[in-house]
Amino acid sequence: MAKALASWRESTNLKSIKEFVQRVTDPAHADFVPPAQRVATFDNDGTLWCEKPVYTQVYAALAGFAQRAKADPTLRDRQPFKAAYDGDNKYFAKYSIEANLPKLERMLAEAMAGETQAEFEARSAGWFETARHPRFGRLFKEMTYAPMIQLIGYLRAHEFQVFMCTGSSMDLMRIISDEIYGLSRDTIIGSSLMLEWQPRSDGPVLVRAPAFVKPINDGPGKPVNIQRHVGRPPILVAGNSNGDIEMMQFAAASGLPYLNLLVHHDDGEREYAYDVGAEKALALCAEHGWSVISMANDWHTIFR
Amino acid sequence: MAKALASWRESTNLKSIKEFVQRVTDPAHADFVPPAQRVATFDNDGTLWCEKPVYTQVYAALAGFAQRAKADPTLRDRQPFKAAYDGDNKYFAKYSIEANLPKLERMLAEAMAGETQAEFEARSAGWFETARHPRFGRLFKEMTYAPMIQLIGYLRAHEFQVFMCTGSSMDLMRIISDEIYGLSRDTIIGSSLMLEWQPRSDGPVLVRAPAFVKPINDGPGKPVNIQRHVGRPPILVAGNSNGDIEMMQFAAASGLPYLNLLVHHDDGEREYAYDVGAEKALALCAEHGWSVISMANDWHTIFR
C-alpha cells in the first residue's frame, strides 16, 4: 500500500490522510465508519486536473461551436457560433468566467441545446482525442494529477465510494472519467443541461435543452447535488477553491469523522501558482485545521 | 445459479431472462455487452413491491402529516395537516392519484417542505418500523416480491449495475433500499423535493424545499433521469405500468441488445389483479414482443 501513493512526498498531509483512513476503517476504533457511509467527493477542475489558463470545458465548448458551424453553414450568422467559426476571441473575452458566470451559463445553455445526447457525446469524444493544453502541449485529458488519482485508488482499496463533484459539465467529464480516473459515469456529479425525451420517426432520442439543471453544481449547489445523487454526506472531500467550501462544510456537518483536503496551487514552475478564487477556502482551512495540500511540497510528481 | 431464481417457475419468461443474460455476458457472442454498459433499471411500485391499494409513499406522507401535527399544534389548523391529524379521509379522497396527480404533487411538495433532510429521514425510518399493509398485515417494507429481488441478485452476479427508477419518493426509498433490496442509496433514482443549503447558528443543514426536482420521475421523466444519474441507457428494464413505457423505449433505442420485462398483476388471490394503468404498456409488449411476466403463472412465491 506504500506504493499506492508513490507520487506523494512523506509529509504531514500524507500522514493525516493515512491516519484518517486507518481510523475510519478499523472496526475496533471509535472513529470507525461502515463502508456504506465511506463517501468521498472530489472536485475536478484544479483538484484532479489542471484548470488553467481556462477551464477545459470552455475550450471544449468553443471547439464545439466552431465544429458545428463548420458542419452547418446556417449557424455561421448566429452567435456564439459565428465568433467561434471566425476565431473572434474578443467576442468570448467579454464572457470572462469570474466576471460573468450567469451570462456565460446562459450563452452556453442556449448554444449547446439542440444536439441529441448521442451527437454531443460523439463530437466531444472526438475532441478529447486531439485537443491539447496551450502551455504543456499534452492532451487535455492527460493534464491529470498523479497524486490525486493515486488517492482515489487508495480510498477505493479501503472501501470508500468515490464520486467526482465538478462545477463543470457532467456530460463532458463522463466521456473520459472512466479512462482517465477509473470513475464510472454514474459516479460523476456535475452541472448539466436539461434533457428532453423526443419521439422521432426513427425512434425516441434525448435532446439537450437550453437550460441548466438547477442548482448549478458549484458552492451551495454541491451539497444539494451530492445529497440528490449519493443520498448522504461525504466524509472525505477534496477541492481547491471557494466553490468547494460548502461541500467541505457538508462533511464537517455529517456527524461522522471527516477529512477535508484543499489542493493549493503554489507551484508555478511545474503547474500554476494562484490563490485567486481560493481566498475564503484557505482562510477556512486555517480556521478549522483542514488540510492544505501544497503541490510544491507535498507532491513528488504532479502530472500522471 | 439455478437456486438464485428459486421463486420463479420454469417458464418461457424465465428462459428468456437466462438466455439474455447468457448472451450479453459471453465475450464470444455477437450480443456481448461490456460490464460498464450492463445497466438494469427497475421500477419499484408494482414491480419490486406491492402498490395496492395505494402507493406506499401516500401512507407514509399521511402518517408524516399526522405526526408532525401531533408534535406541532400550530400545524393543526393548516391543511393537509389538519385532515391527517383529524383522520379526515374525505379531504384526501379528492386527491385521488389517477385523477389529479399534479394537484397531489403540489400538496405534497408544500406540506413536506420545511423539515431538514435529517428530520425527514429519522421520522420516515421510524414509520417503516411499524407501518403495516391494510390487507396483508405485514410491514410495508416486507411487501417485496421475492422473484424480483432474486433477479436483482442474479443480474449483479453477472456484473450488471442495478438501479431502482421509481416514480415515488427517492428519499423515502433510500431509507430502506439497502435493507430490503440490497440497493445502496446512490442506486436509487426517483422523484424528489428540491433541497436548500441553509447556514444555521449550529451549522449548515439541507432543508426540504416546496418544489419537486424536474422532471418528476415518471413516463418521459424516467429516461431523462436515468441519463442524468447513470449516464447511459439501460439494457434491461423491469416495470409494470404505462409510466414505465419510455424507460423501456430507452432500452430499445440503446442500440444494444436489450430485454424489457412487464410485471403483470394477474393474481388477485395472492396479490392483486388489475390492468388499469398498464393498458398501453401491455399493448406495446404485444407489439414488440417484450416479456409480460405473469405473477400467477411465472412466480412460485410472490412475497419474500
CB atoms closer than 10 angstroms to residue B167: 24
pLDDT for the residue numbered B103: 79
Distance in angstroms (rounded) separating the CA atoms of residues B69 and B82: 7
Of A235, A219, A199, the closest CA to residue A277 belongs to A219
Distance in angstroms (rounded) separating the CA atoms of residues B247 and B244: 5
Angle B42-B48-B51 from CA coordinates, rounded to 5°: 115
When CB atoms are compared, the residue of A36, A197, A230 closest to B246 is A197
Distance in angstroms (rounded) separating the CA atoms of residues A115 and A121: 10
When CB atoms are compared, the residue of A163, A214, A223 closest to B197 is A223
pLDDT-wise least confident of B100-104, B121-125, B276-280: B100-104
- Give the best residue of B176, B183, B224 to mutate against chain A (max A CB count within 10 A): B224
For A63-107, the pLDDT digits (tens) are 999 999 999 999 999 999 999 999 988 888 777 655 677 777 788
Of A173, A225, A166, the closest CA to residue A42 belongs to A166
Mean pLDDT on B54-59: 94
Min Cα distance A229 → chain B (Å) is 6
For B196-235, the pLDDT digits (tens) are 999 999 999 999 999 999 999 999 999 999 999 999 999 9
Identity at B24, one-letter amino acid code? V
3-state helix, strand, coil in chain B (%, to 5): 45, 20, 35
Buried b / exposed e over B117-136, threshold 16 CB at 10 Å, is: beebbebbeebbeeeebeee
A223:B174 CB<8 A: no
**A chain contacts of residue B184, beta-carbon cutoff 8 Å:** 36, 161, 231
Q: Among the residues of B182-292, which ranges form H helices?
A: 221-230, 245-252, 279-288
* Helix (H) / strand (E) containing A237: strand A236-239
DSSP assigned state of B233: -
Mean pLDDT on A11-31: 98
* Beta strand B291-294 pairing with B259-264: parallel
- Give the best residue of B164, B175, B186 to mutate against chain A (max A CB count within 10 A): B186
Mean pLDDT on B24-29: 98
When CB atoms are compared, the residue of B192, B196, B231 closest to A186 is B231
Sheet architecture: strand order including A259-264: A188-191, A161-169, A39-42, A236-239, A259-264, A291-294
Percent of chain A at pLDDT > 70 equals 98
Return the residue of B nearest to A179 by Cα.
Answer: B36
A117:B227 CB<8 A: yes
Distance in angstroms (rounded) separating the CA atoms of residues B60 and B63: 5
A36:B178 CB<8 A: yes
When CB atoms are compared, the residue of A214, A232, A253 closest to B185 is A232
Residue B97 has pLDDT above 90, yes or no: no
pLDDT for the residue numbered A93: 79
What is the three-class DSSP state of B51?
A: coil
A195:B252 CB<8 A: no
For B131-152, the pLDDT digits (tens) are 999 999 999 999 999 999 999 9
For B249-277, the pLDDT digits (tens) are 999 999 999 999 999 999 999 999 999 99
Min Cα distance A144 → chain B (Å) is 22
pTM of structure? 0.97
Return the residue of B nearest to A208 by Cα.
Answer: B224
For A220-252, the pLDDT digits (tens) are 999 999 999 999 999 999 999 999 999 999 999
Summary mean pLDDT of chain A: 95
Distance in angstroms (rounded) separating the CA atoms of residues A270 and B92: 65
DSSP assigned state of B242: G
Min Cα distance B13 → chain A (Å) is 26
Of A200, A188, A247, the closest CA to residue A219 belongs to A247
Return the residue of A nearest to B117 by Cα.
Answer: A227
Min Cα distance B90 → chain A (Å) is 34
Return the residue of A nearest to B190 by Cα.
Answer: A228
* Helix (H) / strand (E) containing A148: helix A146-157
Residue B62 has pLDDT above 60, yes or no: yes
Distance in angstroms (rounded) separating the CA atoms of residues A214 and A196: 15
Residue B302 has pLDDT above 90, yes or no: yes
pLDDT for the residue numbered B98: 57
Terminal-to-terminal C-alpha distance of chain A? 18
Residue A12 CB burial class (10 angstroms; 0-12, 13-18, ≥19):
exposed
* Helix (H) / strand (E) containing B299: none
Contact A32, A25 (CB under 8 A): yes
Q: Could you tell me how many CB contacts below 8 A there are between chain A and chain B?
A: 87
3-state helix, strand, coil in chain A (%, to 5): 45, 20, 35
pLDDT for the residue numbered A103: 78
Residue A2 has pLDDT above 60, yes or no: no
Handedness of CA A63, A65, A68, A69 (dihedral sign): negative
CB atoms closer than 10 angstroms to residue B100: 13
For A123-161, the pLDDT digits (tens) are 999 999 999 999 999 999 999 999 999 999 999 999 999
- Give the best residue of A41, A194, A228, A237 to mutate against chain B (max B CB count within 10 A): A228
The set of residues, in sequence order, having a beta carbon less than 8 Å from that of B268 and lying 6+ positions away, is: none
Distance in angstroms (rounded) separating the CA atoms of residues A181 and A60: 19
CA neighbours within 13 Å on the CB side: how many for A173? 31
Min Cα distance A196 → chain B (Å) is 7
Buried b / exposed e over A233-246, threshold 16 CB at 10 Å, is: bbbbbbbbbbbbbb
Return the residue of A nearest to B221 by Cα.
Answer: A197
Return the residue of B nearest to A39 by Cα.
Answer: B186
Min Cα distance A19 → chain B (Å) is 26
Distance in angstroms (rounded) separating the CA atoms of residues A163 and A150: 14
Contact B44, B243 (CB under 8 A): no
B203:A253 CB<8 A: yes
Residue A301 has pLDDT above 70, yes or no: yes
pLDDT for the residue numbered A249: 98
Q: pLDDT band for position B9 (50/70/90)?
A: very high
For A179-225, the pLDDT digits (tens) are 999 999 999 999 999 999 999 999 999 999 999 999 999 999 999 99
Distance in angstroms (rounded) separating the CA atoms of residues A291 and A17: 9
pLDDT for the residue numbered A99: 63
* Beta strand A259-264 pairing with A236-239: parallel
